[in-house]
Structure formats: C-alpha cells, structure tokens
Amino acid sequence: MRSAAVITGIGVMAPNGLGTRDFWDATRVGRSGIGRVTRFDPTPYPTRLAGEVPGFTAADHLPSRLLPQTDHMTRMALVAADWALQDAGVDPGELPAFDMGVVTASAAGGFEFGQNELRKLWSRGSQHVSAYQSFAWFYAVNSGQISIRHGLKGPSGVVVSDQAGGLDALGQARRQIRNGTPLVISGAVDSAICPWGWVAQLAGGRLSEGEDPGTAYVPFDARAAGHVPGEGGAILVLEDAAAARARGVRGYGELTGYAATFDPRPGSGRESGLRRAVELALADAGAVPREIDVVFADGAALPEHDRAEAEALNTVFGTGRVPVTVPKTMTGRLYSGAAPLDVATALLAAAEGLVPPTVHTEPDPRFGLDLVTEQARTAEIRTALVLARGAGGFNSAAVLRVPAK
Amino acid sequence: MTVAGRRVALTGIGVLAPGGIGSKRFWDLLADGRTATRRITFFDPTPFRSQVAAQIDFDPAEHGLGPQDVRRMDRAAQLAVVAAREALEDSGIGVGSGPGSADPHRTGVTVGSAVGATMGLDQEYRVVSDGGTLELVDHTYAVPHLYGYLVPSSFAAEVAWAAGAEGPATVVSTGCTSGIDAVGHAAEVIREGSADVMVAGATDAPISPITMACFDAIKATTPRRDEPECASRPFDGTRNGFVLGEGSAFFVLEELDSARRRGAHVYAELAGYATRSNAYHMTGLRPDGAEMAEAIRSALGQARTAADRIDYVNAHGSGTKQNDRHETAAFKKSLGAHAYDVPVSSIKSMVGHSLGAIGSIEIAACALAMEHHVIPPTANLRTPDPECDLDYVPLTARERRTDTVLTVGSGFGGFQSAMVLARPDRDAE
C-alpha cells in the first residue's frame, strides 16, 4: 500500500489576501486584488495592471539579518512556510531533521534582486555587486532558505516548468513522501514585479493591455486578450497520512492524483497534451470523471489556449458537465505560485462547500463550459481537479480528495 | 515509489565540455589528464578578481543549429539541445510512431540547470537598461525571446522538441547539485512508471560578468592568474577557489528490460540516488560532512550495494578548502575504511565547475570510466593537503576494473546529492 500524502497546513500570500483567512474571505465573495502597479511606475509600458500582495512588511515577520540577503519573493515564501507549519501544528524542531524536506517551484527566481545587482554591475562596476547575488536570485533559493530556517535535512528539490511548476513541485513532494519522508513543505511563491521582470514578461506576448481591472483578465470570454500578472502563491505542508493521523491530524485533503505531459511541437497541428494530463491524473487517483465535483482551470485567457482547455475538459467530462472556475481572475496569474494557491483554494472551497467565482468573465457559449461566474456556488466538494499549464507546452494536473464531513 | 522490478538503464551519452565536444573527445581529455581552463576570452576579465574559466569552443552552426535556433535559445539551451541529440543518437533509440520506436507519450525530459539563461539575461539587461543607466528599462529594445530567458523551463521545452518527447517535462534547479538531481528525478519517473524513456541531463553557461562578479564578491573563485591551465586544483594544498566552467551532458535513460529487449548498449544502471540538505547556510558547509554522508548511505542502500563494492568515487572536488575537507569527511563517514582504499578524483581540475551542469558531466565521466575501466585523474594535484588524506588519483589516469561508481555533488542552498552507477548484471547482495 502506497503512503497517502495529505495536506495538513496552508500558508497563503495572495494579491487579494495576506494569510488564509483574509484570502478566503475575499475569494468566497469574489473580491479582486488586481490594480495598477505600485512597485514601480508602469506608465512607459503597455501593461499597467498587476496583482500585488498588499500590506506585506517582511521586517514584521523575519529577522533583520535575512532581509539584505533575500528577494521579495523569498521573504514572502519564508513567511508563507511559517504560516503553513503553524497551521499544520508542526514544530520542526521536535521531529527528526532527515524526516522533513522541502520542494518548491520557481519561475523567475529572485528577479528583482538580480535586477538591482545587474544595475550595479553595469552602472558602477563589478566590485559593487552584492555578496548575496550568488544565491539570492537563483531558482533554488526558496527551498534552501526554508530548509535552513526550519532545519529540514531530508530530500529537497526545486522544479521550474513555468506556471505548471507549482503542481510539479507538489507531485515531487508526494514522491518524497512515498519514498519514506514523512513531512515535506511544498508549493511556490513567485514575483517579478520590477521593471526588468516586467519587460521580460511583456516579451512573452501573453499579457493583457487592458486598463480596467474589471475586464483585463477574462478567461473563456470572447474578449479574452491575455492575462494580468501577479505575485504570491501558497506554501503547503504535505504529510504521510499515517504520520499525520498518529498525531491526531486528518488534514484538509489528500493529493490522490498527479500527472504531467508536454505538448507536441508547435505547428504540428496535433492536440495539446492537456487532456492526457487530466486522464492520467484521474487514473492515478483511481477516479472516474463523474466523481470530479469542480475543476480549477488554468484559464490562460488567450483564445487558442482557452479553446484547447475547454475542448480537453469537454472531451473528458462531457460538454458543460462539470463546474469550472478560475479564481485567478481575482489575483492575476502568479506563475509557479498559481497552482499551489489553487490547490489551497480547492481545499478551502471543499471545507465550506462553496465554489468560488470566476469574476468579471462573461463566458463565451462556444466553449460549452459550466463556468461559475460572479457568484460563488454552493456545492458538496469531495473531489477537485486543478490544472496548470506553462508557456512552451507544459501541462500538469492534480486531483484532491477531501474526507466526508 | 518503485513499481516492482522497474530498473533504469543509461543507454546514451552526449557531452559538450570545455576541451571536449562529444563524449569521445571529452573522455580523451579526461584520460589524458589535460586541462581546459584558460584566461577568459568571452569578455575582458581585467576588472575581475578571478580571470580564469573553462570555456567551450562552440559554434552552434557546426552542430545543426540554425540562425533562428541561435536567436531563440540562450547558450545554455543550445548546449543542451546538441548534447541531447548526441545522447539520442548514441542510444540508437527513435522517438515516434515507427516500429521499435519509443512512444512520445511515454518519453519525458528532465533538464538540470542552476542559473538558467544567466548569460542571455546579463547581455539583454545591459541593452534594455542602456548600460545600467535606465531604472525603467526599455521594453522596445528587448529580444522577442526574453521570456524564455526569464523562465528557464524553456530549456526543457527545447530538449523535448528536439527529442519529440511528450511525456513529463521539467527543469530541476537545485544549484550545483542540479546535474545529479535532474538525472535522479528522471530515473524516479521511470521507476514509478510515469515514463519508459527519459532524456535527462543538465546544462549551464554561466561565464558572464554578473556570475564572475558574484563569485568574486564571496571569493569563491580562484584569483590565480599565472598558469591558468593549472588554476583548478581540487584537494591540492595550494588551491584557493574554483574555476568557473560551462557545458552540458545528456543521457537516454530507459527501463532496463525494454532496453535489453531492443538490444541497446547499457553503459550502467542508475542503481541508487539520494539528496539531503545541510539546513545550515546558503553557501557554507559544516566540516563534518554529515548530510552528504547521509545522502551517500541512502544512495548505497537504494542500490543495495555495500560501501566496499565502490570501485571509484567521483568527488564534487570544487577546489575550495571548505568543500575539499567537507567531502573528505563525508567519504570517511559513509564509506568507512574503504574511503582510504577507493580512488577518488575530481574532473573539475580539468573542465572547471559548470554549476548545475557539472553533475551530469560527471555522471558521463563515471559511465565512461566504467566503459573503459579507467579512472580519470585529479589534474594539478602536486602538493598534498594533510587534511585531505585519501587517494585522489593525482595527475595521471589509472587502469582499474570499474563496475560500481559513486558520484556526489554539493551546492549553494545546502543541497548534497549522491548517485550510484553499477553494472546491471552485478551480483545483488
């Protein structure tokens, strides 16, 4: 019998809520955190909206010695990890160090930190570059810093698969649990809301140029023309179910299915690998399509991508046969952070019996989806599917099961 | 989680290393004990403390990359695609719908990289910021493929397109252990049954001003300027920092039984892999090597191999005093008395330290050592360090029957990884 991986702790950093309670209070009523960029002057750029995490002051949560050596996204990740452990009721100091690991995803590393050091390099000279540049910007930094902060010496890792990476990290965390590590901290927090990060994101050609926070990011809508980028994400505590039970914890739910696929080469004209990812994740979970109570869709808000995602869902579930939602419409797309936040949202949604809405979208009927819009919908949620797709052709899918109340 | 009986074979190798493009020339360099460290020519290194690196003399056009490939891909991605193609060709496997071909849906990709498209980012930042003068950098000067530099999963996409793979694909980025961890990850994906074939390896091309500057700042790289060809001196009493390198190595990994069925040449079985963290410091190491020792013990356990069966240890051997003592302690702790008997060497003495790539390049060295029954040497080791008292195979390669090999890596972030390669027909204990 394989070990089951249950999620026992959640730490949220989201544009519409700092911490799980604020985030869920906002999400259940459809309150968005998207607004004009405040961290730099976005006037020169064609995209000016973002989902920024409001009210996060790192010095309130972290020792001052960590501040000069960390990027904004690492500070948020460290605090989210603290909150996730508190939520799980785990004190890592009381557990064997080799029995705990950390697997995070990253998209751009500590890009703002890198920007500042590149600026010093080219404007002032190489001797002005920070000693912390050697690790503060790289993709492994959050796993490294979290492991150090909490003394986690077990198997750790870092994956990069654009927006799909957040689910790949959870899949890897589950592997480590099945291989015998009882507790793994996982998830992702990303941020590249700095001029250099902005220019690099613009080059991807997927950003919305909408000026109205209400309509700039509307997946599965005939007006869809790209997304609003955001920052944040979620850090989760995953535990071996037996180990959690032994300390009297049942957890929010179990990660029962996971799969990843890659699309055919561009221009092949062949179907995206998304449907296969969904089918493989369902098979991995031992679930049939009618058991899925809600789908947290990727929602790229690009016509071709929305069409491909709708087709995949309709093929697996039947046209309009499963409720679909994109709460990312309240946060923007958080890169690696998006999918772990969707996993957290799915677990919170199941706990309340409420599917949070896809805000502002008027669903294009051609897609044939049962999209939950504007108002949250009451529903019994026992099994949820979360999808995440990354630029280049990455498709990941996860199935979560929540115990009956 | 291992599906009963699924084992992982390494059936194809591709290498682009300093001094050796292609696995044959790479091996010749190692077997001859030649070094590829030189004064930097990619840019003027005069302002830097460290001015030596191991560069590859690489012309993408010679390796089938067109002008658009070169424009789209950072140098690290170019190296990866060329290495992956060599590995596929070497393995003789086809990916596609033809008879005997691997199913694209059952073929995945794992690419290790510590610093992604750092060279491209450095160059592009300089342009959009107009030499660091613009705080609000100018997007109208950005190259169209800058997003692929921002998020280096573009490397996995490039390799997947080159291979025709449509199974699980990702980048593993755990700093300087990325090259071991990517291959370990891919092996796990095969063992658990999520794929039958993985094109796995690692790449990094970090020789750029920003990388040199950040290692200068912490005095991690060697300041030695005379005799650049002798600048990388792992385990030597006169060593004073590592020499930055670049490169890529890729492998074709297959489920062992199906590899045998198609008559593939099996270089080695990936018999054991483990990673641990020191949870101590982002760049520092405790001298006792406890976490690396734990990773080694775990990898040996997974491989069901006793420590005294190890015929060769490929060391991390970066050439910093801190590392060399740390891992010498780890070998003693994990291998016991055998640590003093087994040959240990560092090929970083010859090809430098290519960050996330080197772990895969070293796996290639291990597989080729098993192929030739030759242990590559530690070049430039002339002055013993009394605190490093193992057999580091100084200067000259050594013939020795080599059936079971251990390779290790250690990196920023505290990651410590170990992998055991073995002949698949070895006696199980």
Do residues B142 and B44 both lie within one domain? Answer: yes
Last residue of one domain, picked from the residues B261, B289, B314: B261
Parts of chain A belonging to CATH 3.40.47.10 = 5-246, 257-400
Determine whether the interchain pair A262/B166 forms a contact, defined as Cβ–Cβ distance below 8 Å: yes
Chain A residue with Cα closest to B150: A108
Instruction: Read off the pLDDT band of B3 (50, 70, 90).
Output: low
pLDDT cut 70: percent of chain B above it = 98
Determine whether the interchain pair B214/A129 forms a contact, defined as Cβ–Cβ distance below 8 Å: yes
Do residues B200 and B321 both lie within one domain? Answer: no
Residues of chain B contacting residue A140, judged by C-beta atoms under 8 Å apart: 114, 173-175, 178, 411-413, 415
Do residues B174 and B206 both lie within one domain? Answer: yes
User: Residue B2: is its pLDDT beyond 60?
Assistant: no
Do residues B280 and B252 both lie within one domain? Answer: no
In a domain, B345, yes or no: yes
pLDDT cut 90: percent of chain A above it = 98
Annotation says B185 is catalytic: no
User: Residue B428: is its pLDDT beyond 80?
Assistant: no
Do residues B189 and B211 both lie within one domain? Answer: yes
pLDDT tens digits along B112-162? 999 999 999 999 999 999 999 999 999 999 999 999 999 999 999 999 999
Alpha carbons within 13 angstroms on the beta-carbon side of residue B144 total 6
pLDDT cut 90: percent of chain B above it = 96
Determine whether the interchain pair A108/B151 forms a contact, defined as Cβ–Cβ distance below 8 Å: yes
Asked if A217 has any chain B CB less than 8 Å from its own CB, the reply is: no
Which of B142, B144, B413 has the CB atom closest to A144's CB atom? B413
In a domain, B146, yes or no: yes
Do residues B119 and B37 both lie within one domain? Answer: yes
Domains contained in chain B, number: 2
CA distance B33 to chain A (A): 30
Calpha distance B242→B239 (Å, rounded): 8
Annotation says B316 is catalytic: yes
Across B282-290, average pLDDT: 94
Across A366-395, average pLDDT: 97
Q: Quick one: pLDDT at residue A403?
A: 87
Q: Quick one: pLDDT at residue B272?
A: 98
pLDDT tens digits along B230-282? 999 999 999 999 999 999 999 999 999 999 999 999 999 999 999 999 999 99
In a domain, B429, yes or no: no
- Of B144, B188, B185, B194, give the one whose Cα is nearest residue B165: B194
B/e letters for B349-387, b = 16+ CB within 10 Å, e = fewer, are bbbbbbbbbbbbbbbbbbbbbbeeebbbbbbbbeeebee
Residue pointed to by tokens 């483990």: B274
Residue B134 backbone dihedrals phi, psi, to 5 degrees: -95, 120
Annotation says B63 is catalytic: no
Do residues B55 and B138 both lie within one domain? Answer: yes
In a domain, B390, yes or no: yes
Element housing A305 (H / E): helix A303-317
Which of B126, B280, B294 has the CB atom closest to A148's CB atom? B280
- Domain housing B326: 272-422
**ipTM for the complex shown:** 0.98
In a domain, B427, yes or no: no
Determine whether the interchain pair B280/A261 forms a contact, defined as Cβ–Cβ distance below 8 Å: no
pLDDT tens digits along A244-292? 999 999 999 999 999 999 999 999 999 999 999 999 999 999 999 999 9
Do residues B65 and B198 both lie within one domain? Answer: yes
Last residue of one domain, picked from the residues B221, B239, B261: B261
Calpha distance B328→B315 (Å, rounded): 9
What CATH number does residue B412 fall under?
3.40.47.10
Asked if A356 has any chain B CB less than 8 Å from its own CB, the reply is: no
Average pLDDT for chain A: 97
Average pLDDT for chain B: 96
Determine whether the interchain pair A263/B166 forms a contact, defined as Cβ–Cβ distance below 8 Å: yes
Determine whether the interchain pair A391/B147 forms a contact, defined as Cβ–Cβ distance below 8 Å: yes
Asked if B140 has any chain A CB less than 8 Å from its own CB, the reply is: no
pLDDT tens digits along A102-139? 999 999 999 999 999 999 999 999 999 999 999 999 99
Q: What does the radius of gyration of chain B's CA atoms come to, in whole angstroms? A: 20
Do residues B347 and B252 both lie within one domain? Answer: no
Asked if A209 has any chain B CB less than 8 Å from its own CB, the reply is: no
pLDDT tens digits along A290-304? 999 999 999 999 999
Q: Quick one: pLDDT at residue B1?
A: 42
In a domain, B266, yes or no: no
In a domain, B123, yes or no: yes
Last residue of one domain, picked from the residues B233, B261, B289: B261
User: Residue A334: is its pLDDT beyond 90?
Assistant: yes
Question: For residue B60, what are the CA distances in angstroms to A200, B37, B66, B74?
Answer: 25, 21, 8, 11
CA distance A372 to chain B (A): 30
Across B394-418, average pLDDT: 97
pLDDT tens digits along B297-314? 999 999 999 999 999 999
Neighbour tally for A62: CB within 10 Å:
18
Residues of chain B contacting residue A102, judged by C-beta atoms under 8 Å apart: 277
pLDDT tens digits along A221-234? 999 999 999 999 99
Instruction: Read off the pLDDT band of A374 (50, 70, 90).
Output: confident
Beta bridge partners of B409: B417
B/e letters for B222-250, b = 16+ CB within 10 Å, e = fewer, are bebeeebbbbbbbbbeebbbbbbbbbbbb
Do residues B286 and B363 both lie within one domain? Answer: yes
Asked if B212 has any chain A CB less than 8 Å from its own CB, the reply is: yes
In a domain, B43, yes or no: yes
Determine whether the interchain pair B47/A126 forms a contact, defined as Cβ–Cβ distance below 8 Å: yes
Tally A–B CB contacts below 8 A.
280
pLDDT tens digits along A193-215? 999 999 999 999 999 999 999 99
pLDDT cut 70: percent of chain A above it = 100
- Please, what CATH class does the domain formed by A257-400 belong to? alpha beta
Do residues B81 and B195 both lie within one domain? Answer: yes
Which of B48, B153, B215 has the CB atom closest to A394's CB atom? B153
User: Residue B429: is its pLDDT beyond 50?
Assistant: no
CATH superfamily ID and name for A5-246: Thiolase/Chalcone synthase (3.40.47.10)
* CB contact at 8 A, A134 and B220: yes
First to last CA, chain B: 21
